[in-house]
Amino acid sequence: MIKEFRDFIARGNVIDLAVAVIIGAAFGKIVTSLVEGIIMPPIGMLLGNVDFTNLFIDLSGQRPVSLADAQLKGLPVIAYGMFLNDVISFLIIAFVVFLIVRQINKRREQAPAPAVKECQYCLSSIPLAATRCSGCCSEIGE
Same domain for 79 and 136, yes or no, is no
Burial (CB count within 10 angstroms: exposed 0-12, middle 13-18, buried 19+), residue 113: exposed
Residue ranges in the chain assigned as alpha helix (H): 2-10, 12-34, 40-46, 67-73, 80-109
Same domain for 118 and 70, yes or no, is no
pLDDT exceeds 80 at position 112: no
Same domain for 63 and 23, yes or no, is yes
Q: Is 98 strand, coil or helix? A: helix
Same domain for 103 and 37, yes or no, is yes
- Predicted confidence at residue 76, as pLDDT, reads 93
Same domain for 16 and 85, yes or no, is yes
**pLDDT tens-digit series, residues 4-53:** 877 776 776 777 788 888 988 888 888 888 887 888 788 878 878 777 77
Same domain for 130 and 77, yes or no, is no
Same domain for 6 and 44, yes or no, is yes
**pLDDT tens-digit series, residues 69-99:** 888 999 999 988 888 888 887 888 888 878 8
Q: State the CB neighbour count (10 A cutoff) for residue 38.
A: 9
Same domain for 93 and 121, yes or no, is no
DSSP 64: -
Same domain for 21 and 91, yes or no, is yes
Same domain for 39 and 91, yes or no, is yes
Find the CATH number of the domain harbouring 83.
1.10.1200.120
Q: 142 pLDDT band (50/70/90 cuts)?
A: low
pTM, full prediction: 0.54
- Predicted confidence at residue 41, as pLDDT, reads 82
| Residue with the larger pLDDT of the pair 12 and 131 | 131
**Residue 91 sits in which domain range?**
2-111
Longest dimension (CA), the chain: 94
Q: 111 pLDDT band (50/70/90 cuts)?
A: low
**Any residues with CB less than 8 A from the CB of 138 and at least 6 apart, and which?**
119, 120, 121, 122, 132
| CB 49 within 8 Å of CB 35 | no
Same domain for 64 and 102, yes or no, is yes
Same domain for 47 and 85, yes or no, is yes
